[in-house]
Amino acid sequence: MRKLIGLCGWLFLGGIGLSACQQEADTSLPGYVEADYVRIATPVAGYLRELQVAEGQAVTVEQPLFRLESNESISNQQAAAAALQKAQAQAADLNKGKRSEEITALQAQLSAAQAALRLSEQELSRQQRLRLQGFSNQSTLDQAASTRLQAQGKVRDLNAQLALAAQAARVDVRQAAQADVIAATAQLNHADWLMTQTTPHSPVTGRVEETLYQVGEWIPAGSPVITLLEPEAVKVRFYIPEATLATIKPGQSINVSCDSCQQPIPARISFIANNAEYTPPVIYSKENRSKLVFMVEAKPLDTKTFLLHPGQPVAVTLAKAEQ
């Protein structure tokens, strides 16, 4: 009896002791269940106003998860919408030329200038006659001629302004205005997208593993709020000695047993580590804790239901490698 006890070791997995001493030789390998989680975060900060799921609840793709209140996102969206409206108005003005009221004002100025030109021409004619009759001097005549020249220049200038006002702005100016519209549109699209991120939806079908915040708490940007788990993300991790490495390969079938498993769960090896490591503290016995081993991962064939749970200790039985 003492000899039998001396041959018996204890396997410790996650704090749970499993006796390695059995009536018959046990060829199974100890392991545990791991998983790759999907952590849901948002790129905006805000207060958590509503949790729409609970831990352990099943979720489907596009199902709402929670809702944030972000005043900054609302303000950014409103500012972006106003900037786009302004850019569009400026581009429209440049494409159609000056407004009608501006053109009307120029036309009124032109009419006044034309009237002034007619008066200056009449005055110049009168001064020329008086000069010929000897009733006016040359200085007065020169002043009348100068006034007419100024009136002519004013009329030409206003005619040019009216012609320009009826045209659209230069091509380069209009292109710059259109670029401003494109930039403002992109800014608004980004602000709209950020607003949608305050009410994220599930990207996967699975279950809620953990909620990390309570309603009313402040959520920093990028901080995970909910952890999701897909059935296909569950995997079994175990370790094999170097002597066994040549007997397994990726794709090989294994059977996984656990205390709560009614029957062995079929799985398939998905990964074999290239580098050896010492037996991790989570799995060791007095006999093997100083030996180098290789980590192996396997995926259950049933990827639709949660037959195994992360952290659960399991026993792995290897099948013969397929030829």
Q: What is the DSSP string of 133-164?
A: HTSS-HHHHHHHHHHHHHHHHHHHHHHHHHHH
Query: Is residue 71 scored above 50 in pLDDT?
Result: yes
Residue 242 is given by DSSP the state H
Enter the tokens of residue 168. 């659209």
Enter the tokens of residue 123. 């005055």
The whole-angstrom separation of Cα 106 and Cα 60 is 67
Enter the tokens of residue 271. 């990964």
- What pLDDT is attached to residue 13? 39
Per the prediction, the chain carries an average pLDDT of 82
- Written as one string, the DSSP assignment of 71-130 is HHHHHHHHHHHHHHHHHHHHHHHHHH-S-HHHHHHHHHHHHHHHHHHHHHHHHHHHHHHH
More confident residue, 323 or 300: 300
Evaluate if pTM is beyond 0.75.
no
Query: Is residue 294 scored above 80 in pLDDT?
Result: yes
- What pLDDT is attached to residue 98? 57
Helices (H), the chain: 2-6, 71-96, 100-133, 138-165, 171-196, 242-245
Q: Is 66 helix (H, G, I), strand (E, B) or coil?
A: strand
Q: Kindly compute the dihedral angle of the four CA atoms of residues 217, 218, 222, 223, in this order, to the nearest 10 degrees.
A: -40
- What pLDDT is attached to residue 17? 42
Hey, what amino acid is at 105?
Answer: A
The pLDDT tens digits for 12-35 are 333 434 444 444 445 788 999 999
- What pLDDT is attached to residue 298? 95
CB atoms within 10 A of CB 232: 16
User: The domain at 2-35+230-318 falls in which architecture?
Assistant: Beta Barrel (2.40)
Residue in 176, 156, 60, 164 with CA at minimum distance from that of residue 113: 156
Q: Please answer whether residues 80 and 73 qualify as being in contact, where contact means their C-beta atoms are separated by less than 8 angstroms.
A: no
The pLDDT tens digits for 148-200 are 889 888 888 888 787 767 665 566 777 888 898 999 999 999 999 999 889 99
- What pLDDT is attached to residue 110? 82
The pLDDT tens digits for 233-291 are 999 999 988 888 888 999 999 999 998 888 999 999 999 998 887 766 655 555 555 57
pLDDT band at 70 (very low <50, low <70, confident <90, very high): confident
Residue in 24, 20, 59, 46 with CA at minimum distance from that of residue 208: 59
The pLDDT tens digits for 72-116 are 888 888 999 999 998 888 888 776 655 667 778 878 888 888 888
pLDDT band at 145 (very low <50, low <70, confident <90, very high): confident
Burial level of 202, CB count in 10 A (0-12/13-18/19+)?
Answer: buried
User: What are the boundaries of each domain within the chain?
Assistant: 2-35+230-318, 39-69+197-228, 76-192
Enter the tokens of residue 211. 């909620």
- What pLDDT is attached to residue 282? 57
The whole-angstrom separation of Cα 107 and Cα 159 is 9
The whole-angstrom separation of Cα 45 and Cα 221 is 4
- What pLDDT is attached to residue 288? 56
pLDDT band at 50 (very low <50, low <70, confident <90, very high): very high
Enter the tokens of residue 303. 């990827």
Matching CATH number, 39-69+197-228, of 3.90.1570.10, 3.30.930.10, 2.40.50.100, 3.40.50.720 = 2.40.50.100
Buried b (16+ CB within 10 A) or exposed e, 293-310: bbbbbbbbeeeeebbbeb
